Amino acid sequence: MKNSKTGFLLIFRNIIPAVIIAAGFFSCRNPSSTSDVISFEAMNTFMSIKCFGKKASMANKAAKSKILQTEKLISVTDTESQIFKINNSSDTESLLTEELDFLISQSLDAAVKTNGAFNPFLYPITKEWGFTTKNYHVPNDARIKELLPLTDYNKAHKKGNVLFKAPGMQLDFGGIGKGFAGDLAIETLKENGISSAVLDLGGNIQLLGKKPDGNDWNIGLRNPWKADAEPVFALKLSDCAVITSGGYERFFTGDDGKEYIHIFDGKTGRSVDNELVSVTIITKKGITGDLLSTALFVMGKEKAMDFWKKSPDYDFEMILLCKDNSAVLSEGIEKRITKLADFSKIEICKKQ
Ligand code: ADP
Ligand code: MG
């Protein structure tokens, strides 16, 4: 099992040497410093935040604490988390706190709008495959058939701040939690007077404002085909989330020699295996980027392109990278991209 999320996207070393993936993060200890980097582990991944401003250090500490607090809220393994309690209670009605209420509303809405490609009730399946217990195995058909009815999001609904669900249904916010936490962290930074920051939350990049010099941030999209290769695209962006889902970092190899990734098709209960290696979503909010990156990965290339063209519900741009070394770019992102690698083909997805 590979589980080394060091960030799918990275800020170019030559442009912003301080905010970089992986090791070597530093923390500015000078209290009068106008920038600060904080690095820590949360949500089963490595995170770092660089922010600029007089209160940078204090703001970063507050943002980190908000992320850890969010993890405590939605962890499926922490016995003290609200999600653990909801998942393991025989009660079919649960009173939701404000944050959970928002997260569940967004998730149920996304399940409907993506026709189940994003499904927040997949925990019986993800757990069975061993992705939370680390007891990785391929379940047999009978077991999957038994579990699938428990993942039917149509059997759950919300009334006010109460969640109603059928017995045995369990939530898994792995596909949306980091984006949600990123949005909350950005709010916290803003409350602390920060207007320029870059967050790398295990490959989810969220940008607050522009660089302190007023220019866009320069983001590198990591090569999913070849570890440690140079980025494949450079993107000039500000004030948005750049969120990637891929199968190449979290997977296990079954007894049959096949690789099984951590993203599941809720219709079959099986690990997704299609033509895509990764989906990157560029949009305003982390929560939207996170749910869409997972959903479009499940849909596969053609349906993802169709969804981008037709969905009236979400405003986003996308980059699809495929196993055959080709790429699909939605037309709105094309002008912000510089190609840095060779592709077998680059297709531009247009609305008409
Ligand atoms: P990552 O966590 O690697 O950034 P994703 O955002 O795509 O990648 O989230 C994958 C996680 O989402 C899985 O580990 C699992 O917890 C959950 N998940 C898997 N398949 C789905 C799905 N179809 N809908 C919603 N959540 C999913
Ligand atoms: Mg996601």
Q: What is the pLDDT of residue 132?
A: 85
Q: C-alpha distances in angstroms, 283 versus 198, 262, 306, 319?
A: 15, 23, 17, 12
Q: Identify which ligand lies nearest to the alpha carbon of 289.
A: 2
pLDDT beyond 70 at 287: yes
> Cα–Cα distance between 224 and 221 in angstroms, integer?
9
Residue reference for tokens 């596969």: 300
Taking every pair of C-alpha atoms in the chain, what is the biggest distance, in angstroms? 62
pLDDT beyond 50 at 11: no
For residue 108 and ligand 1, the question of a CB distance below 6 A is answered with no
Ligand 2 centre to CA of 67 (Å) is: 16
Residue 24's pLDDT band, with cuts at 50, 70 and 90, is: very low
> Cα–Cα distance between 40 and 162 in angstroms, integer?
34
Vertex 313: Cα angle to 320 and 289 (nearest 5) = 45
* Residue type at position 114: T
pLDDT beyond 60 at 5: no
Ligand 2 centre to CA of 290 (Å) is: 4
Q: What is the pLDDT of residue 18?
A: 24
Residue 82 CB contacts under 8 Å (≥ 6 apart), including other chains: 73, 74, 96, 97, 100
For residue 264 and ligand 1, the question of a CB distance below 6 A is answered with yes
Q: What is the pLDDT of residue 4?
A: 37
Q: What is the pLDDT of residue 31?
A: 43
pLDDT tens digits, one per residue of 77-121: 999 999 999 999 999 999 999 999 999 999 999 999 999 999 999
Q: What is the pLDDT of residue 337?
A: 96
For residue 266 and ligand 1, the question of a CB distance below 6 A is answered with yes
The answer to whether the CB of 212 falls within 8 A of the CB of 58 is no
Mean pLDDT for 32-42 is 87
Ligand 1 centre to CA of 30 (Å) is: 39
Residue reference for tokens 């990275």: 10
pLDDT beyond 60 at 283: yes
From the CA of 179, give the closest atom in ligand 1.
Answer: 6
Percent share of the chain, pLDDT over 90: 85
From the CA of 245, give the closest atom in ligand 1.
Answer: 7
Q: What is the pLDDT of residue 282?
A: 98
Q: What is the pLDDT of residue 133?
A: 84
- Residue 92: is it exposed, middle or buried by C-beta count within 10 angstroms (0-12/13-18/19+)? middle
Ligand 2 centre to CA of 271 (Å) is: 15
The residues with which 281 forms a beta bridge, in sequence order, are 243, 318
pLDDT tens digits, one per residue of 134-179: 899 999 999 999 999 999 999 999 999 999 999 999 999 999 999 9
Residue 218 CB contacts under 8 Å (≥ 6 apart), including other chains: 11, 12, 15, 16, 234, 235, 236
For residue 290 and ligand 1, the question of a CB distance below 6 A is answered with yes
Q: Identify which ligand lies nearest to the alpha carbon of 247.
A: 1
Q: What is the pLDDT of residue 42?
A: 97
Mean pLDDT for 297-319 is 97
For residue 174 and ligand 1, the question of a CB distance below 6 A is answered with yes
pLDDT beyond 60 at 307: yes
Residue 244's pLDDT band, with cuts at 50, 70 and 90, is: very high
